[in-house]
Structure 1
Amino acid sequence: MRLRRSVIALMAVLGLAMVSACNGGDDKAADGDGLQKVNYLTSFGAFGREAYAYVALEKGYFKDAGFDVKITPGSGTVDVMKLVAGGQADYGIGDFTGFAITLANQKLPVTTVGAIHQRSMAAIMSLEGLGINKPQDLVGKTIGDQPGSTNTVMFPVYAAAVGIDPKSVTFLPSPPPGLPKLLASGKVPGIGQFVVGEPLVAKADSKHRKVITLPYGDHVPDLYGNAIITRSDLAKEHPDQVKKFMNALLKGLQDTYDDPAAAATIMKKYVPELDVDVATAELKIMQAYIKPENFKGPLGELTADRVKKVISLLEQSHAIPQGSIKPEDIATLDLAPKS
């Protein structure tokens, strides 16, 4: 009987915690200054590529918009989606294509409201002399990557675009922090990595070999990169709050685009172990993905035509079943920035 009461009490506490977490859109969830408390997840870890959120925090953009924001390192698109869906976070960052593929197979109450990158940053990286110099060299190779990572999940789309059989490439499950060293050791000839990871890969190689990068976006340019994720109910019931938060975050992104070195320096105040030089190099690479050449839209733009193209590409490459998702299932386009 005592055990049963303890279990019931524990379930009640957990239930209250979940209700509290899910009240991110409730105006009552405010601190002493009247600011709305918001939990935000980065896409993955605390690398330089995430600096824009820290810039928005440091420069008071979140506070000016009425938010008290807590930034927590995320652990990949799928985990970010699940944590946002469950109410443990209000907003997060995840790869748009990985987001779409996940929702085609598992329904979660989440949506995207804006794009951080107008091109996918997914890539395969190698080092000079390891036998990978072009997409066709991937055939028969083993690539180290985190299970379920964006690079792995999206690989069939890339493979179809470059004309190789995705099954001809083996992905070796490997912990993300050790991927650069795994490549440098020669234990694998390639690793899954975002294009901005090039400075980290170069730093890990004591032989100072040239980094070979095969960006997915070079062959599938219609794919978005990272996008802003929130709960579907928050987007529907509190659209003004979502717009204010997104606009504050995008102000941080604009400042980061304009001055990568300053953004990296700001981030180091919050992440002391950050290598400012590496972070700055990452952010300089990221500029071409935030605003690609010939891109004329507003920062953060998501359009119906592009979203439809992404879905079509995923269906054509058999990454998702035909008709499994519609644009409105993965993006709340009326909240996205417009020209």
Structure 2
Amino acid sequence: MSVLRRFGSIALVATVLLTAACSSGDDKKVAADAGGALTTVSYLTGAGVQGREAFIYVAIEKGFFKEEGLEVKVQPGNGTEQNLKLLQSGQADYAMVDITASLIAYGEKKFTDFTIVNAVQQLNLSCIMALSGSGIAGPKDLAGKTIAYIPGGVVYSLFKAYARLAGVDGTNIKWVVMNAQQMPQNLAAGSIDAATQFAVGKPAVEAAGKGKTAVVMPFSNYLNDLYGNGLGVTKKKLAENPKQVKAFNKAMLRGVEYAMANPDEAGQIYAKYQKLQPAKVAAAENVLMKSYVEGGANAAPIGSLNRDRVARNIAIIQSAGLVQAGLTPDDVITFQIPS
């Protein structure tokens, strides 16, 4: 079943009167092209602007947002905590955030005026990554090593839970703060031994490593019931403009679905808008991401969120001592956007 059928037909936000008589996506696109006003909204990527988020540019390039009456301005994010800060302060309309990190942030009462309306990845992407020749072949080799991380990032937040299950002695690990874009080059230079990463970042790390192979240690091998990233929006915006939120969600998930089906084209579209990664690397990230987007229990529909699974996510982070009891799925997740 396609994303379009799953999320239904949604009228244009800014051109309802103009498109009331139109029934097809082509008609709506023609109407927008004919001069219908578009509503400009801002979107924060997860961390930097990597090829794994080509889907947002796909949705722009293919006119999916325009069909919904939206013009999207993409801004580079810097991890869940910073993205939630900007979102809650009104400096962004929509933001990509890690669902587990968001649950932790809400449970700690750092941020509470937000909700998540989809799951781009049904499986969590968090991992520790190293390069061959670093002396790291598996999780237990991380003991005593220097690992770069993003403050407030989900990988660092989850590391203790992962380390306990994977048998890692984390007492003498040296943690250093580093921007996500700098990590591949520093791994290649040997100034750090490993880095917090998303598993789909393997092509970029190997490209920087110039012939070295990436050693990927996915958290999902041990924490296999956690979601990945999802679309965050403030509760205030959802309450005041649910039609726009639904329209944005629909267009974005169309972009996700298209990018997973056409990774090479997604890489080319990404490279048209961004120069951080070449098209080939961006395409490779999308190939790797497909199993995370389409994975999970019972091949869940793209973007879907299940209340029972979110409850299990909460139980995992509670058992790791990351949040106190009392947090519920509906505190953070909107399972159905109001009409």
Range class of TM-score, shorter chain: 0.7 to 0.9
Question: Counterpart in 2 of 1:248?
Answer: 251
1:101-159: CA deviations, max 9, x gaps? 11122133111000000111111011223222222222232211222222111212212
Identity %: 35
Contact 2:132 2:215 in 1 (8 A): yes
How far is the alpha carbon of 1:184 from its aligned partner? 1.7
Does the 8 Å contact 2:48/2:180 carry over to 1? no
Query: Which SS does the other structure have where 1:88 is aligned?
Result: coil
> 109, 115, 118: which is aligned to 1:111?
115
AA aligned opposite 1:198 = K
The residue matched to 1:132 in structure 2 has which SS?
coil
Look up the match of 1:192: 196
The 1-side partners of 2:14 and 2:83 are apart by: 23
SS of structure 1 residue aligned to 2:81 = helix
> Which deviates more, 223-232 or 130-139?
130-139
Evaluate the alpha carbon distance shift between residue 72 and residue 300 of structure 1 in structure 2; reply closer, same or farther with a 3 A threshold: same
- Native 8 Å contact 1:235 1:332 kept in 2: no
Q: 1:139 aligns with which of 136, 143, 151?
A: 143
Distance 2:282 2:224 in 1: 25
Q: How does 1:144-183 map to 2 (within 5 A)?
A: 144-183=148-187
Residues 273 and 135 (structure 1 numbering): CA distance in 2 closer, same or farther, change over 3 Å?
closer
Candidates 322, 329, 337, aligned match of 1:327: 329
Whole-angstrom CA distance in 2 between matches of 1:88 and 1:107: 15
Give the equivalent residue in structure 2 for 1:16: none
Q: What do the CA deviations read for 1:272-315 (whole angstroms, capped 9, x no partner)?
A: 45411111111111111111276422110111001100110000
Q: Secondary structure at the match of 1:115?
A: coil
Partner of 1:237: 240
**1:309 to 2:312 alignment:** yes
| Distance in 2 (alpha carbons) for counterparts of 1:267 and 1:107 | 31
Q: Verify the 8 A CA contact 1:157 1:319 in the aligned structure 2.
A: no
What residue is the counterpart of 1:204 in the other structure?
Answer: 208
Would the alpha carbon gap of residues 292 and 89 (structure 1) be closer, same or farther in structure 2, given more than 3 Å must change?
A: same
Secondary structure (helix, strand or coil) at the match of 2:118 reads strand
Give the TM-score taking structure 2 as reference length: 0.85
SS of residue paired to 1:311:
helix
Across the aligned residues of Structure 1 and Structure 2, the Cα RMSD in angstroms comes to 2.1
Residue 116 of structure 2 aligns to a residue whose secondary structure is strand
Long gaps (5+) in structure 2: 1-12, 16-31
Deviations 1:201-245 (A, max 9, x none): 111123x22211001112111111111000112223332321221
Q: TM-score, normalised by structure 1?
A: 0.85
Q: In structure 2, what is the equivalent of residue 101 of structure 1?
A: 104
8 Å Cα contact 1:156/1:319 also seen in 2: no
Deviates more, 1:156-165 or 1:191-200: 156-165
Greater alpha carbon shift after TM alignment, 215-224 vs 235-244: 235-244
Distance 1:253 1:188 in 2: 33
